[in-house]
Chains A and B, each alone.
Chain A
Amino acid sequence: MTRADTLRAFKRDGRIVIVGASLAGLRAAEALRAEGFTGSLTMIGDELGEPYDRPPLSKQVLTGWVPADGTALPRRRDINAEWLLGVPASGLDMAGNVVRLADGREVPFDRVLIATGVRARPWFVESEAALDGVFVVRTREHAEGLQRALAAGPSRVLVIGAGFTGSEIASICRERDIPVTVAELAPAPLVGALGAMIGEVAADMQRAHGVDLRCGVKVTRLEGDAQGHLRRAHFDDGSTIDADVAVVALGGIRNTDWLRDSGLAAGVWGIACDTGCRALDINGLITDDVFVAGDVARCPNPIYEYRLISLEHWANAVEQAEVAAHNMVSAQADRWPHLSIPLFWSIQFGANIKSVGVPTFADEVVVTQGSVSDRRFVAAYGYQGRVTAAVSFNNAKWLDHYRQLIETAAPFPPLCPTPDQPVDSKPVPVDFPGPALIAQGATVVVTGNAPSERRVTSLQQHHR
């Protein structure tokens, strides 16, 4: 059989397994069928129920406008798949081409797509996390529970963490006229994603909307009453606050634990892959039959010095899923690279915030259009004299232009004047707080001498 024959036979009656039945998994399945894959398709997901959209969970679902079960993802075509829902995958056997499920079942594959995404980082003390009134928001059940708690009219909500999700939830609380305190370890909200200048804008915006914003503080303890209801939170400066609802919005944990012994380059930072979405094994070698897409993927981006970047962005999941699906059923010469410029949006405190590019990949930022005090502006980010990202507040329609500046490595700061340009605007240092996740310690060790013997093993396996 020639290679072309093999590919044809695979497209006709091969076996593809998709682990992760959310946005990336569903879109990949649809794309596989659109590409003409007629073989067997198995969808594995740990949540029951059909795939749903998550962005509304911290927005329209919490206002009560959209019911939690009303965000099912639209289906673009019949994917004719076998659905194995409600049981998580527990392992991947790359030698035997099998996905193992937590209930012991084994699902064989010819090619597998990993799109297991991210779960909410829970509160670090289990007994406190279990208090009635303490929430995270990642699934529709989470959102439904929090919506009910908000509808009950709590005396105060404490939001722990002022990233995008935390800020959106604080915004909903104010919209519902619920007193809210936001606690953030960094000097300002959104500062980890967008830097100090935008962080200051976000802080002003929160305070103008009546948020009790406390930055540079850490919540040390959540205190419950005898019935197990949350009553109080303690801060590291010794102060306390009474609240009956707390939302833990401390980001996510990538769902890679199940791949610990798989031999893939998987860890807390995600699963490394090439721009074609093919997973790297633990030695950094490309695999042929294992693909990755969505929040869990860690993919190089040539625009950003080929650095491996993980993105928890809706559009990224969709685009990566389509590239992965295409490459799963294509010959080597027909493969596509995933080269899109990251795009992200948020709605909070009446502001539409949208970004393009990677704002953390920058040393300076400058307001290029509009007015910061009116909260209608665009800011461009630059790295060593070229544009690498842009953020807009209520001005999103210009971002296509900035995407193009990023793609063409246009000079920073942008040279030519535009209408509505602030007169005294000068680039300022972008000023990100140090990476919080870096001190995780080593995850692998290298052994062997001759090139044929050199291998990477995970630290855990090495110590066994």
Chain B
Amino acid sequence: MTTTQMPDTLRRILDYSSRADPYPLYAELRRTPVARQEDGSYVVSTYRELAELLHDPHLSSDVRNLAHPMRSHEGETTPPFINLDPPEHDRLRRMAMRHFGPPHTPGLVAGMDGDLTAVVSGLIDGFAGKEQIDIVDDFAYPFPVTVICHLLGVPREDEPKFHVWVDGIVNSIDYNPKIDPKEKLEKGLQARKDLRQYLGGLLEQRHGRAGDDLLSRLANDDGPDGRMTDEEIVATANLLLIAGHETTVNLITNGMLTLLRHPEVLQRLRDDPDLVVPLVEELLRYEPPVHIIPWRAAYSDITVADTVIPRGSQIMLMLASGSRDPDRFHDPDRFDPDRRDNQHLGFGSGIHLCFGGPLARRETQIALTELVRRLDRPRLVADPPPYRRSPVLRGPIHLQVEQGTG
């Protein structure tokens, strides 16, 4: 099972030219479920092995457990919980979840329906008179940004400022010293620093001031685990700010693209808005916003699919490939909103299961339902649309859609 067979498949997936359709390459990758790369890292691409690893306590999310450290995480003294193992991960995630979901804050996401619909309606009102809309710039980006700013307590008008930093960070997530210019890494590291400093500034004003936003609540709340340090709050806010919009933008855009490519499903959704619930689940399987977990570390030797991954190895998890694995999903390349038993890997699995998943679901459900209801005969201008650089957070950079008689 351990081979360096087709060392080029991964390279080709990461290459920008395959961004519009990486799925045939994923199929190629799946022929070797656990593939050792030339540099000693491992790529896992089949559903069963991915699901196994995501629940394996020997798989570490802490960069310090890698034999060869990651340059892109240098200087990160207080990692966000996505990059930590238990018990620290559990403690920080639990403290953040106190203010976001059950059992302590069970009604938060459900209670946002009105606000979410209002933001969506306002953005769609803005389409009036336009024959051509960019689903990304006019809708799928501003919507989740507005929502996450409001939730966190980050001023919406600062978006142009932090957008630049977030871009730099997202672009450096998949930094590869062999193929990428050093500048990409440095830009990412500087952006991390700048964003931390910015959030730290916001946090300073929240101490001792009660407020409903997450920053204020984290700054002032004393739960059973005590209070997060300022560094921990900044790391958490940093994570939620980035994850809160950089992923949802892709899910919504991929959703609209998929619907336009499947007009019969689009019509069904228009006739039956309840279809949106299984439809978004299928979307998370079929065109997920996060394709790859770029690295995890083997804390000790891990045996998966009869392959021993030695301690300290870097492991890349190809989630989007797993969700298209024909050994798990019947006819996996078909978009089928009626699919049963749809345990996709769109939000990952195990202890790092997407923190904001419930919000992303609801945002996308409302966004797609309203877009389909209110757009007048929408048509794709270009198929495939142009894509963003990242193979990790994958989605169109623009999605031009015509509507009306045009």
Contacts and interface: CB of A to CB of B under 8 A. Distances in A.
Interface of A: 368-371, 374, 376, 378, 397-401, 404, 416-420
A376 B300 contact: no
B87 A371 contact: yes
B344 to A, nearest CB: 16
Given A371-B87, A420-B87, 13 more contacts: A369-B86, A370-B86, A376-B87, A397-B350, A400-B52, A401-B55, A401-B57, A404-B52, A416-B299, A417-B299, A417-B300, A419-B60, A419-B62
24 contacts: A370-B87, A371-B87, A376-B87, A376-B90, A378-B57, A397-B55, A397-B351, A397-B353, A398-B55, A398-B351, A399-B55, A400-B350, A401-B55, A401-B56, A416-B300, A416-B301, A417-B299, A417-B300, A418-B57, A418-B300, A419-B60, A419-B62, A419-B85, A420-B87
Contact of B57 (A371, A376, A419): A419
Contact of A418 (B51, B90, B299): B299
A401 B350 CA distance: 10
A417 B299 CA distance: 7
Nearest to A400: B55
A418 B55 CA distance: 12
B58 interface: yes
Contacts of B57: 368-369, 378, 398, 401, 418-420
The 5 A-B pairs at the shortest CB distance, nearest first, are namely A419-B85, A416-B300, A400-B55, A418-B57, A420-B86
Main secondary structure of the interface of A (DSSP, over half): mixed
Given A369-B86, A376-B87, A418 B350 contact: no
Contacts of B350: 397-398, 400
B338 to A, nearest CB: 13
Given A397-B351, A401-B57, A420 B300 contact: no
A58 to B, nearest CB: 18
Contacts of A420: 57, 85-87
Contacts of B300: 416-418
B56 A419 contact: no
Nearest to A368: B57
Interface in B73-100: 85-87, 90
Given A417-B299, A417-B300, A419-B57, A400 B86 contact: no
A18 B351 CA distance: 40
A335 B309 CA distance: 38
A352 to B, nearest CB: 10
Nearest to A374: B87
Contacts of A398: 55, 57, 350-351
Interface in B54-75: 55-58, 60, 62, 65
A368 B56 CA distance: 12
Contacts of A370: 86-87
Contacts of A400: 51-52, 55, 350
Contacts of A401: 52, 55-57
Interface of B: 51-52, 55-58, 60, 62, 65, 85-87, 90, 299-302, 350-351, 353
A288 B57 CA distance: 45
A96 B337 CA distance: 47
B299 A419 contact: yes
A371 B90 CA distance: 12
Contacts of A404: 52, 55
A223 B86 CA distance: 51
A326 B181 CA distance: 59
Contacts of A417: 58, 299-300
Contacts of B90: 376
A271 B299 CA distance: 46
Contacts of A399: 55
A418 B299 CA distance: 6
The interface centre, meaning the residue of B85, B86, B90, B351 with most chain A CB atoms within 10 A of its CB, is: B86
A169 B65 CA distance: 44
A419 B353 CA distance: 18
Contacts of A418: 57-58, 299-300
Contacts of B56: 401
A62 to B, nearest CB: 17
Contacts of B302: 416
A296 B353 CA distance: 36
A330 B387 CA distance: 50
A368 B299 CA distance: 15
Contacts of A397: 55, 350-351, 353
Contacts of B85: 419-420
A19 B132 CA distance: 62
A445 to B, nearest CB: 48
B64 to A, nearest CB: 10
Contacts of A369: 57, 86
A121 B201 CA distance: 63
A425 to B, nearest CB: 14
Nearest to A419: B85
Contacts of B299: 416-419
B343 to A, nearest CB: 11
The interface centre, meaning the residue of A368, A370, A397, A417 with most chain B CB atoms within 10 A of its CB, is: A397
A419 B51 CA distance: 19
A376 to B, nearest CB: 7
Nearest to B56: A401
Contacts of B87: 370-371, 374, 376, 420
